[in-house]
Amino acid sequence: MEIKIMKNILDRNQNKANEVRTLLASKKIVMVNIISSPGAGKTTLLERTCEKLGTKFKLGVIEGDITTDRDAQRLVKYDIPIVVINTEGGCHLDSNSISKVLDSFDLDNLDILFVENVGNLICPSQFDLGETFKLAIVSTTEGDDKPAKYPMLFRESRAVILNKIDLMPYTNFNYKSFRDDLTKINATVPLMEVSLTRGDGLDKWYEWITEQIISPDNLH
């Protein structure tokens, strides 16, 4: 391929990501970089999480989108701070754009900042935003071959959510093949199987993300 991301771009991104990470750690804020295909369930995960944990913890959201604020509009009914970054065609967020919008939040009143990256399994995996960890969402309707085809995301994520398990019976999704591929790429990664629209399996997610928020390991 002719087009590559040049090392100087990645270096610059990394330096800014390190700054973001240091700032967030000093404020004891966990930042989650959520990555998935278009329509896999990122915004719905945020809706469910705001409903369940919005009064227990101080949440904030950065919405990355090519051109609209549609995802953010779905979240305005929850009383949390939201900032939209429109990438104007760009296929991922970068640490510089995150760094610029952090000022818009009251960082002394925030426990966890969710970043909904642009819907894309590829480029977002390559750019450190300064997050505490990455979270991958994949849905059964996309097929069982996503870990094998996009290994970098699944290697780098601290947890994987398998969404739309209620639709699995209507698809040719092979659970064993999915699980085997994922284990080969990241043997110890927690896998949470959920239906974000119906609510199946969400207790495990609320428990896991709560642990991440309160764990002192995430705050240095």
| Residue 178 touching a second copy (CB under 8 A) | no
Strand 157-163's sheet: what is its strand order?
Answer: 82-86, 59-65, 112-116, 30-36, 133-139, 157-163, 191-193
Q: What is the CA radius of gyration of the chain?
A: 17
Closer CB to a second copy, 56 or 198, in the complex: 198
Q: Of 131, 71, 121, which is closest to residue 99 (Cα–Cα)?
A: 131
Nearer Cβ to a second copy, position 111 or 166?
A: 166
Q: Which is nearer to a second copy, 137 or 192 (CB)?
A: 137
Please report how close the Cβ of residue 16 comes to a second copy at its closest, in angstroms. Answer: 9
- Residue closer to a second copy by CB (options 58, 146) is 146
- Residue 187 touching a second copy (CB under 8 A): no
Assess 186 for contact with a second copy (CB under 8 A): no
The least CB distance from residue 84 to a second copy, in Å, is 12
- Letter for the amino acid at 208? W
Map the footprint of a second copy across residues 75-134, applying CB under 8 A: 85, 87-94, 96-97, 118-123, 126
User: Which stretch in 36-44, 76-84, 182-190, 207-215 sits in contact with a second copy by CB under 8 A?
Assistant: 36-44
In sequence order, the β-bridge partners of residue 113 are 31, 60
Q: Which of 58, 83, 132, 150 binds a second copy (CB under 8 A)?
A: 150
Part in contact with a second copy (CB under 8 A); list of ranges 67-75, 76-84, 183-191, 202-210? 67-75
Residues in the chain: 220
Sequence-distant (≥ 6) Cβ neighbours of residue 22 within 8 angstroms: none
DSSP 104: G
Q: Kindly determine how many residues on this chain lie close enough to bind a second copy according to the rule CB under 8 A.
A: 53
Identify which range of 27-35, 104-112, 137-145, 199-207 contacts a second copy by CB under 8 A. Answer: 137-145
* 156 close to 125: Cβ distance less than 8 angstroms: yes
d(CA 156, CA 150): 11
Q: Is 38 in the site for a second copy (CB under 8 A)?
A: yes
DSSP sequence for 141-201: GG-TTHHHHSHHHHHHEEEEEEE-GGGGGGS---HHHHHHHHHHH-TT--EEE--TTT-TT
Which parts of this chain interact with a second copy (CB under 8 A)? 1-5, 9, 12-13, 37-40, 65-68, 70, 85, 87-94, 96-97, 118-123, 126, 139, 141-143, 145-146, 148-152, 164, 166-167, 170-172, 197
